Amino acid sequence: MIQRLLPFLTLIALFVGLAIASPHFLTSTNLSSVVRQTAVINIMALGMTLIIISGGIDLSVGAILAMGGLLGAMAMERGASIPVGISIGIVTGMFWGLVNGFLTTRLKINPFIVTLGTLGIVRGLTLIISNGLPVHQLPADFSFLGEGTLFGVPFVLWILLVAAAAVHVMLEHTRLGRYAFAIGSNPDAAFYAGIPVAFHITSVYAIGGMLTGLAGMVEASRLMTGQPTAGQGYELQAIAAVVIGGGSLRGGEGSVIGTLVGAFIMGLLANGSDLLGISPYLQQAIIGGVIILAVTVDELRKRRLPA
Amino acid sequence: MLLELKSVRKRFGGVVALRNGNLSVRAGEVHLLMGENGAGKSTMMKIVAGMQARDGGEMLWQGQPVNFRSPAEAAANGIAMVHQESLLAPHLSVAENIFLGREERRPFGFVNRRKMQEAAARLIERHGFPLQADWQVGRLSPAGKQLVEICRAIQHGSSLLIFDEPTSSLSDAETAEVFKIVRTLRQRGTGVIYITHRLDELREVGDRVTVLRDGETVHTSDIAELTTDRLIQYMVGREVNAIYRREPLPPGDELLRLEGLSRRPLLQDINLQIRAGEIVGLAGLIGAGRTELCRLIFGLDEADSGQIFVSGRPVRIRSPRDAVREGIALVPEDRQKTGLATGLPLGVNITLASLPAVSRFGFILGRQEREVIARQMERLRVKAESPKQLAGRLSGGNQQKIVIAKWLARGAKVFLFDEPTRGIDVGAKVEVFEVMDRLARSGAGILMVSSELPELLQVADRILVMRQGRIVAELPGRTTQEEIMSYAALAGSVNASQESVQ
C-alpha cells in the first residue's frame, strides 16, 4: 500500500522540500506558473492515460497539439469567435485520434508505428498549412483561456480539474472505461467476451485526440500565437506522466489521480530546478532519472507478488 | 542420492509458496511430484532448476550442498527442465530452439547451422516425433512446442530431468512416446522428476511419488504401496469422490443444430444437435477438428458451407459478438489467454460480457453490478477473498468458475467447453463437473470437448467421435474408452495428428 502511494508521497515531499529550500516557492505567482506550465502536459496526459490503459500508445499528440492550436488560431484570425476557434482545435484533435484508431484497429498496425507515422504526417501538414509561420492576430480575450484567473485560481486549473473529473468518471464508471481496462489487460479475452474491441479502441484514441486539441488551444492562448512548431517532445512528457503515476505500457493499469501526480512531480522538478538555479540541462537528466526510478519501484512492487 | 531437498522455504511477499519442501531423488528413478495447483510443485522445481532462489532450507546435489543462481548454472551441473508453458523462441526453427544457448560453433563465433540441423533431425527421427528440424516454432501447436521442449532437455544429456506436466497438451500417441522417452532415460540412469495431474499416468511411468500440499511435503513412498484414493486424500487433505457420475435427465427443446457445416479441409459436413439439459461429449485425437468446430460455432472462424440453427432459427455467426448475442458461450481451453483478463479483479471479469444489462447511457450502475457479481459468485461457489481480488490470483478451478460466471451473467444457453478440466486439481475437477451438471439442469445445453476419455464417460450423456474433420460416430454415454478409440484412431489418424503439429 505504501508503495502504491509512493508517487503521491514523493509529490508531497517535493512540495515540502521546495517550500523549505526556496522562499520564492510558496508564492502565488510561482504556484500559478507551475500550474500553468503543467496544465498543457497534464490535459494531454489525461487522454494518454486512457490510451495507455487500453494497451495503446500515441506518439503523435505533440504534433496534433500543434495542428489543433494552429487551425483554431487561424480560424480566429479570420474572424471566428473564440468558442468556435476552440472547438475547431478540439475537432482537429478528434479527427487525428480517429485516424490513429482506425489505422490501429482496421489495418491492425502496431500503434507505436501508426502514431510514429501520423506524428510525421501531422507535423508536416501543419508546417505546410502555416508555411512554417506562426499566427499572431488573435482576439485579446482569447488569452483568458491560458492566462486568466477565476476565483483567484488560474483558469487552466479549472479546465484541468473538469477534464480530470470527466476522464476519471469515464474510466471508473462507464462501459467505455471498463472496456478500455479489459482490452488493455487482455485483448483476446475482451474479443471473446463479445466486446466491440475496434470501436472502443478507436473511441479511446478519439477522446485522447480531443483532449490534445484542447491542450493545443490552451498552449496557443498562453503564447497568444498559433505556433506550428508547438508541442515538440510533449508526447514523451505525457507518456512519462502516465508511467510515473503507475500506468503500465503493457496496458490494463493506470489512473487519473496517478497521472496528475506524475505530471505535477515533473512540473515541480522543473520549477524547483529553476528556483534553485540548477541548469536546465541537468533538469532534463533529473527528470529522465525520475522516470526510470518510478517505474523500477512500481515493477519491484508487482514482482513481490507471486505470478 | 542424486538430489535432496530439506525443509526448503520460499515466499513471495506475504504469500508462502513453499514452507517445508522435502524431496529425495535417486539416479535411475522416475519420481512423481503431485499436488494441487498452488501446492508448491512448480516453485520447488524452479528452485531446483536455478530459476528462483530459495529463502531457506538445504539443497544437496550428488551429496554436495549447492545453490544455483541461474538456470545456466543448474544446466552446467546436469539439471534440465521441460517447461509446461513454452519457453521457446517462436521465430527460430525447431533445430535452433533445441540448441538454443548451446549452439554448434564455428571459429569466430559463427554458428554451424547445418550441423545443428542434422543433429536435431536425428534426434527427432530417433523418437519418431512429427516434427521437422527446419520448421518455425511459432507455427507449431502447443503439442508440437512441448515436443521441442522435450527434445531440448534430452539433447543436453542431463543427469536429472524435470518434466512439468509434459503430456497435458499431447495426444495419446505422443504421450506414449513421452513415456517411452522417460523409460529410456531411467534405464540410462538418469533421474527424472515428473509433475503431473493425471492419476492414470502415475502407474505407467512412476517409481516413487512425493505429494505436496499447501507448500509442504506430506507424503513420500513407492507408488506400488499407494492406492489412488489414498493419493488423492494426501493431495487434497480430505476425502474426495474420485468417481463422479452424472445422472442424465430427459432432454428438452433443441438449442443448437448444425447442418452440413464445413470449413474445408479442417471440418467437413458436421451435423449435430444439442438440446436443453444435455451434455454432449466430443471425443477425438488432437487434430481431429474438435477445437476447430468450437471456433466455428463461436464465430472465430467462418464456415464455407452449412447452416447453424439456434433454438430452431437459422443464424449467421461471423464473430464472437454474434455468437454471444445468440446465447452461445465458449469456455476456452486456454483460460488465461482468451477466457480471463487475469490482471483485473474477478468481479470485473464476471460482468465483462453483460455490462449493457447493468448500465444506463453507458454508465455502469454500481449497486446492480455488485448484485450480479455476488449472485454469480454464490451460485458457482467461487472461493475468493472479495470481488476485488485479481482473477489471475485464483486457483485454476476458481478461474474456470469465473469464466462460466461471466457467461451465466450474460444469460448464455449453449456452452462450448473446450477441455474444461485442463490444469485443474483433482478436487476441483469434480466441482467443475457439478457446475456443468447444474448448468444442464437449469436448461442449458453443453458441448464438452475433452481428451480425457474417462471424464467424457463420467459426464456426457452421449459422445460424438471426430476423426479428420468429420463426426464418425455417435455413442451412448455409457460406452467404453476402447469403443471411442476404435472410431477415433482408425488408420490415417497418425497423419491427422502430424498435420496438427504444424
Which positions in chain A touch B392 (Cβ < 8 Å)? 307
Answer yes or no: is pLDDT of B496 > 60. no
In the structure, what pLDDT confidence band is assigned to residue B70 with cuts at 50, 70 and 90? confident
- Give the C-alpha separation, A228 to A117, whole Å: 18
Q: A175 and B353 in contact by Cβ < 8 A?
A: no
Q: A306 and B362 in contact by Cβ < 8 A?
A: no
Q: B13 and A178 in contact by Cβ < 8 A?
A: no
- Top-confidence residue, B102 or A235: A235
Q: Which of A13-27, A179-193, B145-159, B264-278 has the lowest mean pLDDT?
A: B145-159
> Cell numbers at residue B168, please?
497435458
Q: Does B355 touch chain A (CB under 8 A)?
A: yes
Which positions in chain A touch B356 (Cβ < 8 Å)? 175
Residue B341 has its nearest CB partner, among A173, A186, A305, at: A186
Answer yes or no: is pLDDT of B495 > 70. no
Domains along chain A with CATH numbers = 6-302 (1.10.3470)
Question: Nearest CA of chain B to the CA of A277: how many Å?
Answer: 42
Residue B320 has its nearest CB partner, among A191, A304, A305, at: A191
In the structure, what pLDDT confidence band is assigned to residue A215 with cuts at 50, 70 and 90? very high
Question: Nearest CA of chain A to the CA of B364: how many Å?
Answer: 5
Which residue is associated with the grid cell 493431495?
B235
In the structure, what pLDDT confidence band is assigned to residue A244 with cuts at 50, 70 and 90? confident
- Geometric angle at alpha carbon B329, from B391 and B418, rounded to 5°: 75
Which positions in chain A touch B16 (Cβ < 8 Å)? none
Q: A195 and B353 in contact by Cβ < 8 A?
A: yes
Q: A181 and B344 in contact by Cβ < 8 A?
A: yes
Which positions in chain A touch B333 (Cβ < 8 Å)? none
Residue A305 has its nearest CB partner, among B13, B340, B359, at: B13
HEC per residue, B451-465: CCHHHHHHHCCEEEE
pLDDT tens profile B362-390: 898 888 889 999 998 888 888 888 888 88
Which positions in chain B touch A181 (Cβ < 8 Å)? 341, 344, 348
pLDDT of the residue at B100: 80
Mean pLDDT along residues B91-112: 77
- Among A145-159, A289-303, B56-70, the range with the most confident prediction by mean pLDDT is B56-70
Which positions in chain B touch A190 (Cβ < 8 Å)? 341, 352
Q: A173 and B341 in contact by Cβ < 8 A?
A: no
In terms of C-beta distances under 8 Å and separation of at least 24 residues, what long-range contacts does A169-172 make, across chains too? A170/A50, A170/A207, A171/A49, A171/A50, A171/A53, A171/A255, A171/A256
Q: Dihedral of the CA atoms B146, B147, B149, B155 (nearest 10)?
A: 170
Residue A194 has its nearest CB partner, among B320, B338, B348, at: B320
- Termini Cα distance of chain A: 18
Fill in the amino acid letter for A263. Answer: A
- Give residues 373 to 392 of B whose Cβ lies within 8 Å of A: 392
Cα nearest neighbour of A192 on chain B: B320
Mean pLDDT along residues A104-109: 89
pLDDT of the residue at B197: 67
HEC per residue, B208-250: EEEEEECCEEEEEEEHHHCCHHHHHHHHHCCCCCCCCCCCCCC
pLDDT of the residue at A13: 87
Computed over every residue of chain A, the mean pLDDT equals 89
Which positions in chain A touch B364 (Cβ < 8 Å)? 173-175, 178
In the structure, what pLDDT confidence band is assigned to residue B104 with cuts at 50, 70 and 90? low
Q: A interface mutation test: which of B18, B291, B328, B352 has the most A CBs within 10 A?
A: B352
% of chain B with per-residue pLDDT over 70: 91
pLDDT of the residue at A83: 92
pLDDT of the residue at A48: 95
pLDDT tens profile B311-348: 989 999 999 999 999 999 999 888 888 889 888 999 99
Q: Concatenate the DSSP letters of all residues of A172-239 into one string.
A: HHBHHHHHHHHHHH-HHHHHHTT--HHHHHHHHHHHHHHHHHHHHHHHHHHHTSB-TTTTTTHHHHHH
- Among B196-200, B209-213, B242-246, the range with the most confident prediction by mean pLDDT is B209-213
Q: Does B485 touch chain A (CB under 8 A)?
A: no
Beta-carbon contacts below 8 Å between A and B = 85
Q: Does B402 touch chain A (CB under 8 A)?
A: no
Cβ distance B174 to B128 under 8 Å?
A: no
Q: A182 and B344 in contact by Cβ < 8 A?
A: yes
Residue A194 has its nearest CB partner, among B12, B353, B392, at: B353
Question: Nearest CA of chain A to the CA of B448: how many Å?
Answer: 18
Answer yes or no: is pLDDT of A278 > 60. yes
CA distances to B273, B430, B432 from B435, rounded to whole Å, are: 22, 9, 5
Cβ distance B133 to B99 under 8 Å?
A: no
Question: Nearest CA of chain A to the CA of B341: how many Å?
Answer: 5
Answer yes or no: is pLDDT of A255 > 70. yes
Answer yes or no: is pLDDT of A298 > 80. no
CA distances to B38, B82, B164 from B46, rounded to whole Å, are: 14, 11, 10
Q: A196 and B321 in contact by Cβ < 8 A?
A: yes
Residue A189 has its nearest CB partner, among B12, B321, B340, at: B340
- Give the C-alpha separation, A116 to A120, whole Å: 7
pLDDT of the residue at A101: 94
Residue A186 has its nearest CB partner, among B12, B340, B393, at: B340
Mean pLDDT along residues B451-459: 83
In the structure, what pLDDT confidence band is assigned to residue A178 with cuts at 50, 70 and 90? very high
Q: B15 and A195 in contact by Cβ < 8 A?
A: no
pLDDT tens profile B232-250: 778 776 655 556 677 788 8
Q: Which of A127-131, B170-174, B270-274 has the lowest mean pLDDT?
A: B170-174
pLDDT tens profile B19-34: 899 999 998 899 999 8
Which string of b and e fits B229-244 if b means at least 16 CB within 10 Å? eebbbbbbeeebebeb
Mean pLDDT along residues B384-412: 86
pLDDT of the residue at B502: 43
Percentages helix, strand, coil for chain B, rounded to the nearest 5? 40, 25, 35
- Among A101-105, B89-93, B159-163, the range with the most confident prediction by mean pLDDT is A101-105
- Give the C-alpha separation, A31 to A43, whole Å: 18
In the structure, what pLDDT confidence band is assigned to residue B493 with cuts at 50, 70 and 90? very low
Cα nearest neighbour of B352 on chain A: A193
Mean pLDDT along residues A214-221: 94
pLDDT of the residue at A49: 95
Which positions in chain A touch B342 (Cβ < 8 Å)? 185-186
- Give the C-alpha separation, B150 to B371, whole Å: 48
> Cell numbers at residue B307, please?
447452416
Which positions in chain B touch A305 (Cβ < 8 Å)? 12-13, 15, 393
% of chain B with per-residue pLDDT over 90: 24
